A = this chain, B = another copy of it.
Amino acid sequence: MKATVHVTLKNGVLDPQGKAVEHALGTLGFNGIEGARIGKYIELDLAETNADKAETQVTEMCEKLLANTVIENFRVEVDG
C-alpha cells in the first residue's frame, strides 16, 4: 500500500528556502511571484494492506520522525 505525506511549515514560520527561491525566480526574470513556500513530499511503500491502519501508522511516523510538529503541519494520504 502506498502512502504520501506532505510536510509544510506552519503559517507565520519564516521560510528562508522559500524566500531564496522567490528571489532567485525574480532574478531569472519571472515577475509576479508573490510568495513561495517549500515543503517536503514523502512517498512510502507499506506492507500494511488495511487503509485505516496504514493511515494511523503513517500519522504516528509523522508525529515521531517525519514532521517537527512545533513548526510544521503534515497531511497524510493513503491510496490502495
Q: A28-B64, A39-B40 are in contact. Are A33 and B21 (CB under 8 A)?
A: no
Could you say how many copies of this chain the assembly holds? Answer: 2
Question: Closest approach, in angstroms, between the C-beta of A53 and any C-beta of chain B?
Answer: 10
Complex contacts, A44 vs chain B, CB 8 Å = 33, 35-36
Instruction: Contact check, B21 vs A65: say whether CB atoms are below 8 A apart.
Output: yes
| Interface size of A as a range | 20 to 34
Q: A8-B41, A41-B41, A42-B37 are in contact. Are A47 and B32 (CB under 8 A)?
A: yes
In the assembled complex, the Cα of A60 lies from the Cα of B25 at a distance in Å of 10
What is the 8 Å Cβ interface bit string for chain A, positions 3-30, against chain B (1 contact, 0 not)?
0001110000000000001001100101
Q: A21-B66, A66-B21 are in contact. Are A34 and B28 (CB under 8 A)?
A: no
